[in-house]
Amino acid sequence: MRHQTALGRVKGLGSARSGSRQWVAQKVSAVVLAVLFLWFAFSFATNLTASYRDVVTWLAKPTTTVLVISFIVTAFYHAILGLQVFLEDYIGKACVRLMVVNAMRVIMMIIGLSAVYAVVRISSVASVLG
């Protein structure tokens, strides 16, 4: 038994059954991001009065570098998922929606990769300072 109107069947409207994977990914990334944010906020508060050299030395530790990069990657992944849902909901024309969503993904990937590159670059400066 179908719970769809005749007009809905003709137009092909209804559940596309493709959003559940994205929904789960967004929820999982939110939980991971919450844990990483707590660590990052605590670490940031601890290093608030530290000198530049101390912060670079802290960031050069492998564990810290991996956690900061994980925080950045998870934050940008979560943002891409959220922005995609927002754009898909509020842009009507399919061709415009596709272009805007893809442009947003490219821009967010460039910014995220730039942030990761900055962390790697800063952590590599520690060998010069140290």
The answer to whether 60 touches 127, Cβ cutoff 8 Å, is yes
Q: List pLDDT tens digits, range 20-57.
A: 888 999 999 999 999 999 999 999 999 999 998 899 99
- pTM of whole model > 0.85? no
Higher pLDDT: 9 or 121? It is 121
Pick among 1.20.1300.10, 1.10.357.10, 3.90.1150.10, 2.40.33.20: CATH of 17-129: 1.20.1300.10
Could you give the CA distance from residue 126 to residue 130 in angstroms, rounded to a whole number? 6
The residue extents of the domains of the chain are 17-129
Q: List pLDDT tens digits, range 55-81.
A: 999 999 999 999 999 999 999 999 999
Could you give the CA distance from residue 100 to residue 88 in angstroms, rounded to a whole number? 9
